[in-house]
Structure 1
Amino acid sequence: MKTLAIHWAGLWAGAPGTYGAYENGILGPTTWEYRRPYYAVRSGSAIFANCNSQDVIDLDLTLMLSSGISPMYLPYVSEPNWLLPGFGTEDPVFAAGMNGSIKGYFNSTLASKPQFCVLMEGYRAWWTPNTNVTGDWLQFMRAWVDKFFSNPNYYKWNGRPVWGMLNCANFAQYTSGNDYAVAKAKIDALRDYSVAQGYGNPYFICLDNNTSSGQYLGCDAYSQYAATYNNASNSQYPYSTLVAPTQAKWTNDKNTNSALTGLPLKVVPHITTGWDFRPRIGSGSNAGGENNPASWIATPTTAEFMAHYGAASAFINAYPTACESGLSICYAWNEFSEGGWLCPTAGDNYGDRIRAIAAFHGLAGPPAARINMSLQALMLSA
């Protein structure tokens, strides 16, 4: 099993009013100390972190490589002048750092680093508030293809560049007025362009909880971005409450026939690390209803998480036709405020989870770790 870990900008040193400042602020209270990543410095009831520092990016890549994990980056078209200069204006909030991690990957001079792939959000692929984007979707996505697929480290399965796709219904809405035939034609045109450039036919993985929209767009396989569960009260639920429906979806997708082709869906098992956005409640963020009371999932122990991780590997081995790519997608590397992470934190002895993943795959993994607060770096020792 090859694991792709969803990776976004996480925490960065944003100016007041930017998302970077917001994330640093809400994770400051010591209640959330167990979520503090190795690169975040604490000062009283505040933390300071900059995941877009090249030193941190290189450490992240080194840790992932040692554990057999590859990042699935989430680039933002709200910074179009990076991908397609001259078309659109950069969003002042998102441009402050949301593409920092993938930029850092390209800027890294490490001799060895993990392969990577990208995840496209359907609504952000074309529309983002405060962004004046000109040109059409295909024009921007050709720029993605040329920039990303041309990199020799881009992850491919069977010669096909892997591309995650989230919010397929929003994609159809914003690019094609909910006309799925038109929306699929755009995806097919992008496939044709990639093949013509010699990159191969992209392997589109739908990450929606409901597979219907992805089926009509002709996605090649199905997974999830984040797990869901029946939350009946404002209280804590055990990790098993999240794992059970996640693993049930693997089987349900395997047993579903595509509305477009009539053939059984291909599956990329989703692996969840948790779901608990309590730090965001009352923070002013409207994303995902974070201003509302909510239930949450207890942070899993390393043993609990690895039982779920092992189940994904066993499912792939048991159903090699359905799981043709041998891939799994893990939520997430660094969703610290939303509630899911693999990145070493104060709460997992700075790396117990990824050391366990490395051991599962027979890799040496990172050695014992400790944080050097003055240098804001993860120090590794045998």
Structure 2
Amino acid sequence: MKTTVSLLLFVLLGGTAFAQGSSVKPTVGAIRWDAWTGGQITEEVKKSLGPKKYHLRLPWFAEVIDDDTVQIDGSPQEVMDRELEYAANAGLDYWAFLTYPENGPMSFAMKQYLQSSKRHLLHFCVILHYTLSNDVEKWPRELERSVALLQEPGYQTVLDGRPLVYVFISGTFPYDRFNQFLDAAKSKGLNPYCVFMGGEPSTAYKEVSGRGFDAVSAYAQDSNQAKFSDLTKAVEKDRWQNAARSKTPYVPLVTTGWEKRPRQDHPVSWEVGQAYLKQKVFPSRATPPEISSHLRRAIAFVRENPEVCPARTIIIYAWNEYDEGGWLAPTRSADGTPDTGRLDAIQKVLK
């Protein structure tokens, strides 16, 4: 009977199964940037991770051809199915998928997730991204698709069943399209909890409050510090504590790193002229205990600041941004087997 009641509460609360002030952990999600399933972007990241010195950063399903050449193909369905098992076993609650045009290769992994027989293991949500800046003729279909995703089984919700929606846009924000998205969602009886991924929390919230956003967060944290520990200190001070001091509604960012030397050696076409291309120092590679300690502190922050973190959720950068320096997913170890060290470490926190 106790198990039945607990399951019922879990369903009614949209998978968040906790009350404000509860000792139960917040939900924890990880960003998916899926450049590994084919297309031009995959060809470019294969070059950035091709040199031998970066081979320990390869996805667990990659193959090493020689000291300068690798093969990366995450398109088989079994890759997604196994990643679902990895994420669920580690205690993650959801993935946050960046949205790209429906029929493009960057949307393939989300399709894999939606058709997976194992999708019940992990919830998902979207980070509205290129969807909002798509071609005019494609926008009506993209709008329809975005709202339909919010109604999918297993979509991550917060508070009283509100679909969790992150928004990450570079450049001028397309408020007209965002408003159309909100109107279309509300026409379906949905009340999305929208989180703007900006920079410094109080400033970002001043820019977007009253324009359909409920809270702010961040996609990532760049850094020119030499130690990963200094990067986490900066995130916790400049982001978390800023939100707490200013009483800004916030979803804490947890970082797993920022080290873009692979893209310095082999620049990618979509980041021409970026400042990091001339950067001399990046944070050291994070150790699994450093990541798990950072996550533990984020969970404590949410529990200690319920008025600042009403959605009681955390977002991790990232699941699989291997060539940018932020990942949780297994990498390819020297003997070709998956290195699950980071997931093993956060499992001790989340489970």
TM over 0.5: yes
User: Is 1:217 matched up with 2:211?
Assistant: yes
Shift of 1:120: 1.3
CA shift in 2, pair 1:239/1:284, >3 Å: closer
Percentage of identical aligned residues? 27
CA shift in 2, pair 1:205/1:168, >3 Å: farther
Moved more, 304-313 or 344-353: 344-353
Match of 2:244 in 1: 254
Match of 1:22 in 2: 44
Shift of 1:111: 6.7
Q: How does 1:50-199 map to 2 (within 5 A)?
A: 50-69=73-92, 70-77=94-101, 79=102, 82=103, 95=104, 97-110=105-118, 112-121=120-129, 124-127=130-133, 132-134=135-137, 136=139, 140-146=142-148, 148-157=149-158, 158-167=160-169, 170-171=172-173, 175=174, 183=175, 187-198=178-189
User: Is 1:332 matched up with 2:313?
Assistant: no
Secondary structure of 1:337's partner?
Answer: coil
| Amino acid in the other structure paired with 2:168 | L
Deviation string, structure 1 residues 332-378 (Cα, Å, up to 9, x no partner): 0000111100001146961111122222122xxxxxxxxxxxxxxxx
Shift of 1:37: 1.9
Distance 1:71 1:294 in 2: 32
| Amino acid in the other structure paired with 1:2 | T
Deviation string, structure 1 residues 128-171 (Cα, Å, up to 9, x no partner): 6xxx54165x763233112x012111111121100111137522
Distance 2:293 2:147 in 1: 36
| Amino acid in the other structure paired with 2:187 | A
User: Is 1:305 matched up with 2:291?
Assistant: yes
CA shift in 2, pair 1:125/1:240, >3 Å: same
Shift of 1:30: 1.3
CA shift in 2, pair 1:111/1:333, >3 Å: closer
CA contact (8 A) 2:48 2:265 kept: no
Secondary structure of 1:43's partner?
Answer: strand
Distance 1:20 1:188 in 2: 33
User: Is 1:203 matched up with 2:189?
Assistant: no
Q: TM-score if structure 1 supplies the norm length?
A: 0.76
CA contact (8 A) 2:75 2:109 kept: yes
| Amino acid in the other structure paired with 1:152 | P
Distance 1:279 1:339 in 2: 9
Match of 1:374 in 2: none
Q: How does 1:229-308 map to 2 (within 5 A)?
A: 229=223, 231=224, 237-248=226-237, 249-256=239-246, 264-285=247-268, 287=271, 288-289=274-275, 291-308=277-294
CA shift in 2, pair 1:227/1:111, >3 Å: closer
Distance 1:23 1:144 in 2: 27
CA shift in 2, pair 1:360/1:24, >3 Å: same
Q: TM-score if structure 2 supplies the norm length?
A: 0.82
After superposing on structure 2, the runs of 4+ consecutive aligned residues of structure 1 that deviate more than 6 Å are none
Match of 2:58 in 1: 36
Choose between structure 1 and 2: higher helix proportion: 2
CA contact (8 A) 1:4 1:330 kept: yes
| Amino acid in the other structure paired with 1:315 | F
Higher relative contact order (CA 8 A, sep 6+): 2
Distance 1:43 1:32 in 2: 13
CA contact (8 A) 1:269 1:328 kept: yes
Match of 2:37 in 1: 12
CA contact (8 A) 1:28 1:47 kept: yes
Deviation string, structure 1 residues 69-116 (Cα, Å, up to 9, x no partner): 211001213x4xx4xxxxxxxxxxxx2x21111010112122732000
Deviation string, structure 1 residues 268-310 (Cα, Å, up to 9, x no partner): 1100000001001142425144543442111111111111111
CA contact (8 A) 2:127 2:166 kept: yes
Distance 1:169 1:48 in 2: 33
Distance 1:214 1:292 in 2: 32
Secondary structure of 1:279's partner?
Answer: helix
Moved more, 319-328 or 106-115: 106-115
Distance 1:251 1:215 in 2: 19
Number of aligned residue pairs: 312
